[in-house]
Amino acid sequence: MKKSLLYIASAVAILLSSCEKVIQVELNEADRTYVIEGQITNFEELNFVKITKSDDFYETEDFEAISGASVTVTDDNGNATVFTESEPGIYKASGFTATSYTSYDLSVIIDGEEISASTYMPGNTTIDSIPFVAGSFFGAEGYNAFLYWTDESSERNYYKYNNWVRSPGDQGYTPDPSISITEDALFNGIGTGIPLFTRSFDLGDSVIVDLMEIDEHNFKYWYALNQVTGGQTAAPGNPISNLSNDALGYFGAYNISRDTIVIE
């Protein structure tokens, strides 16, 4: 019981503290520019670099896919991995996974122009449990789940967490489109519980939850993006991107702990 109360107190403190932070983002609506969304993880199937071109911030669909780019990811030991185009604008690398406590550099060359970025793969924090409770959520009866883990006290940690749901009869999982992030400023080194408030679940649902450790640059990017767009993936004019040459988007190394539950 004491542990559960500690989890709940931590969750409330995190939610309250998030309301106090404001990151100003100025938006441009003019020049077409490259948008790069790059993610490398410890799961091969989740690694990709997506390259598009955007007109302005409010154009959220039908970005132009950029084919024919040269995409390379190099670790801090000099090991280079080439990402090849698997479909228009999407680049992947078979057999590649990122490694904890390693820095990575991205190089994207488009028509002789290079766009680069650097990121760091933190350690792996594992999910402790994902309990769920019945109640009224979003005006309807259902179930809400809680993500529990124990934070590492020896370092500053930043987290992003996602979930996917498959109801009985569904062919596949539906991702939660919202952006969910937190940092350990208020729960360093202790057990922590975060409610998955962005959606409710029904009996029989199968739920996949990913807890991802990310670096500080990516945390700031996702935080500002969530403030401004409420979940869009590319923010023209975003000043905190780690990409060079005024490109938009991000390049991040995410260390993922994954668990699956069934609401029953």
Rounded mean pLDDT, 214-224: 92
Q: Write out the DSSP string of the chain.
A: -HHHHHHHHHHHHHHHHHTT---------SS-EEEEEEEEESSGGG-EEEEEEES-TT--S-PEE--S-EEEEEETT--EEEEEEEETTEEE-TT----TTEEEEEEEEETTEEEEEEEEE---PPEEE--EEEEEETTEEEEEEEEEEE--TTS--EEEEEEEEE-TT-SS-EE--S--EEESTTTTTSEEEEE-TT--B-TT-EEEEEEEEE-HHHHHHHHHHHHHHSS-S--TT-TT---STT-EEEEEEEEEEEEEEE--
Query: 55 pLDDT band (50/70/90 cuts)?
Result: low
Ranking 20-24, 57-61, 102-106, 128-132 by mean pLDDT, the lowest is 20-24
Confidence (pLDDT) at 213: 96
CATH number belonging to domain 123-228: 2.60.40
pLDDT at residue 22 above 90? no
pLDDT at residue 10 above 70? no
**Token pair of 39 as six digits:** 């993610």
Nearest to 210 by CA among 56, 84, 17, 39: 39
Contact predicate 117/244, CB 8 Å: yes
Query: 230 pLDDT band (50/70/90 cuts)?
Result: low
Confidence (pLDDT) at 3: 42
Q: What is the rounded CA–CA span in Å between residue 253 and residue 39?
A: 6
In the block, which residue shows the tokens 């739920």? 207
pLDDT at residue 25 above 50? no
Confidence (pLDDT) at 59: 57
In the predicted model, what is the mean pLDDT of the chain? 84
Q: For residue 129, give Cα distances in angstroms to 149, 178, 195.
A: 7, 21, 12
Higher pLDDT, 213 or 200: 213
pLDDT at residue 207 above 60? yes
Query: 262 pLDDT band (50/70/90 cuts)?
Result: very high
**Domain spans in the chain, listed from the N-terminal domain onward:** 123-228
Q: What is the rounded CA–CA span in Å between residue 103 and residue 74?
A: 9
Q: What is the rounded CA–CA span in Å between residue 37 and residue 242?
A: 11
**Token pair of 149 as six digits:** 């883990």
Confidence (pLDDT) at 61: 61
pLDDT at residue 159 above 90? yes
Contact predicate 252/225, CB 8 Å: no
Query: 138 pLDDT band (50/70/90 cuts)?
Result: low
Nearest to 41 by CA among 90, 87, 100: 100
pLDDT at residue 31 above 70? no
pLDDT at residue 70 above 60? yes
Confidence (pLDDT) at 197: 82
Query: 57 pLDDT band (50/70/90 cuts)?
Result: very low
Contact predicate 161/178, CB 8 Å: no
pLDDT at residue 155 above 60? yes
